[in-house]
């Protein structure tokens, strides 16, 4: 096995990549980069019946968006010959697997089985009728149709006849298997409860278990970092390594990502129900044309999503919560990954987004906001947009929030908040605002300071309460009681537009 750290992310192209899968990829990437190693993408597409067109590209695009690119994988080979480690799609490696299945048969660690699905179903029902659970292993393998009970000649004849068969692993009997997980520590399991899992099918394709082990060995994977759902397979995988006389990699099983409310794993249904994405990018189902939301399209920064995912099951042991990718690499340690499941918190995700929104430089936000304004058929000067961003950015979580917070900087209000109007606009307000209009009209140099000095001086001279003037002025300019300093609003939209909006409010309210 390679002495250099080599890890792999091995998704199946059966649909969109769930954020749980993204987190698995992220933790593999962080571990590899922390130790100067190699991060590999391997597409596990042995189950062609579940293959979904476009899913592989979706996986690659998701990793690219999250800025966690693979060093080796489809389209990217290592510096060594691709024949040593590639190809990186299991469907392109299918000629490699039978030899290892045959080696397991030859060593007595596997056998051919000819049982039909109907036969196995009958055995299950018979066991259930007697209050038992059917397990295909040492309990009953000698009572079933396989090469352990058939003669060598009959076994060969059945295979040559082209009938259906599988190759099953022969789980050991009466052994306490001792294993070690980098996150969970020592694990023991009684091999008597293990199934004789299918490793190879007569269609020439291996099952996940055999292909996974063979590929990890041939690709010299040193650490298998994967989700907790694979923990029940650990015993079989350790036994396969032992039976093939290979050195096993180190294993680390990541905790589940749990629902925000209730029990169980986070699912797409949770996101649909509570209004948040569970996929990194938007996904359109090629069969149903159903569109599922993605974090990117919902306006999240990839850095915020990555930072959020890092904290689902991992804790640096400090008070720091905001980490750049480089800081995550430096701080990451498998010893600080939790065993317990990590509850997903949509509000915490928004918190991370807001922190990154505020930390972004105004030039970046301005560029993105200009793109957004084009969808509203609004095309102001870049300098103007940059100025508006500086006034309202601190209140925004997403770039599109800038429109919600400041659309009045670009278009005059077409209506007025009913509750605010009732509070701010009294019987004498129209007369007062007519005078305000004259005061502002006479400001020669229409800057925030000049406009504020003139109007506040007039208010004092008239003996009016500031609220009696400033509230209806804000309502006139904005249409609601929101926004930054009202004089910043007025001088931003300009003197003429300010006067026009005041007059419109007088005529309307």
- 101 prior amide bond cis, ω within 30: no
Helix, strand, coil share of the chain (percent; to 5): 50, 10, 40
What is the set of active-site residues? 268
Q: How far is CA 330 from CA 26, 39, 66, 316, 338, in A?
A: 14, 16, 18, 10, 18
Separation CA 322–CA 308 (nearest Å): 9
Taking each continuous run of H as one helix and of E as one strand, the counts in the chain are 21, 13
Separation CA 374–CA 413 (nearest Å): 19
Q: Do 406 and 369 contact (CB within 8 A), yes or no?
A: no
Separation CA 251–CA 227 (nearest Å): 11
What are the start-end ranges of the H helices in 8-112?
Answer: 19-34, 55-65, 82-85, 98-106
3-state class (DSSP) for residue 284: strand
Separation CA 423–CA 472 (nearest Å): 9
Q: Which helix (H) or strand (E) holds 437?
A: helix 429-441
Residue 377: φ, ψ to 5°: 60, 40
| Cβ atoms < 10 Å from Cβ of 126 | 11
| Cβ atoms < 10 Å from Cβ of 473 | 24
Separation CA 76–CA 62 (nearest Å): 16
């Amino acid at each position: 096995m390679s002495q250099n750290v080599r890890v792999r992310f091995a998704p199946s192209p059966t649909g969109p990549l769930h954020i749980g899968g993204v987190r698995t990829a992220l933790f593999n990437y962080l571990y590899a980069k922390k130790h100067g190693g190699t991060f590999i993408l391997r597409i596990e597409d042995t189950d062609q019946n579940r293959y979904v067109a476009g899913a592989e590209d979706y996986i690659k695009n998701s990793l690219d968006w999250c800025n966690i690119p693979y060093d080796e994988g489809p389209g990217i080979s290592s510096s060594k010959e691709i024949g040593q480690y590639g190809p990186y799609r299991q469907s392109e490696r299918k000629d490699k697997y039978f030899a290892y299945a045959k080696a397991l048969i030859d060593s007595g660690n596997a056998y051919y089985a000819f049982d039909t699905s109907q036969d196995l179903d009958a055995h299950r029902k018979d066991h259930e009728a007697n209050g038992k659970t059917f397990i295909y292993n040492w309990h009953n393998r000698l009572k079933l149709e396989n090469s352990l009970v058939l003669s060598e000649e009959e076994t060969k004849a059945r295979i040559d006849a082209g009938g259906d068969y599988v190759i099953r692993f022969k789980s050991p009997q009466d052994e306490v298997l001792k294993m070690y997980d980098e996150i969970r520590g020592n694990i023991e399991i009684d091999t008597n409860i293990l199934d004789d899992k299918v490793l190879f099918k007569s269609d020439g394709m291996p099952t996940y278990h055999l292909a996974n082990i063979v590929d990890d060995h041939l690709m010299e994977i040193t650490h298998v970092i994967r989700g907790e759902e694979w923990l029940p397979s650990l015993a079989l995988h350790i036994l396969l390594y032992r039976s093939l006389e290979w050195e096993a990699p180190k294993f680390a099983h990541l905790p589940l990502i749990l629902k925000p409310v209730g029990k169980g794993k986070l699912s797409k249904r949770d996101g649909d129900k509570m209004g948040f994405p569970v996929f990194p990018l938007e996904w359109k189902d090629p069969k149903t044309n159903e569109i599922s939301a993605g974090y990117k399209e919902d306006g999240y920064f990839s850095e915020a999503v990555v930072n959020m995912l890092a904290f689902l099951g991992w804790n640096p042991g400090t008070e720091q919560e905001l980490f750049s990718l480089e800081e995550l690499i430096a701080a990451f340690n498998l010893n600080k990954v939790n065993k317990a499941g990590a509850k997903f918190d949509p509000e915490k995700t928004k918190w991370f987004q807001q922190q990154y929104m505020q930390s972004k430089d105004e030039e970046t936000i301005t560029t993105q906001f200009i793109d957004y304004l084009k969808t509203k058929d609004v095309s102001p000067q870049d300098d103007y947009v940059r100025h508006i961003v500086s006034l309202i950015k601190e209140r925004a979580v997403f770039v599109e929030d800038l429109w919600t917070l400041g659309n009045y900087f670009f278009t005059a209000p077409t209506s007025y908040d009913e509750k605010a109007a009732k509070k701010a606009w009294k019987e004498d307000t129209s007369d007062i605002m007519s005078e305000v209009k004259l005061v502002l009209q006479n400001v020669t140099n229409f800057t925030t300071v000049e406009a504020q000095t003139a109007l506040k001086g007039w208010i004092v001279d008239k003996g009016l309460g500031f609220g009696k003037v400033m509230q209806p002025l804000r309502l006139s300019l904005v249409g609601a009681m929101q926004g930054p300093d009202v004089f910043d609003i007025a001088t931003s939209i300009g003197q003429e537009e300010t006067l026009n909006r005041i007059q419109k409010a007088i005529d309307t309210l």
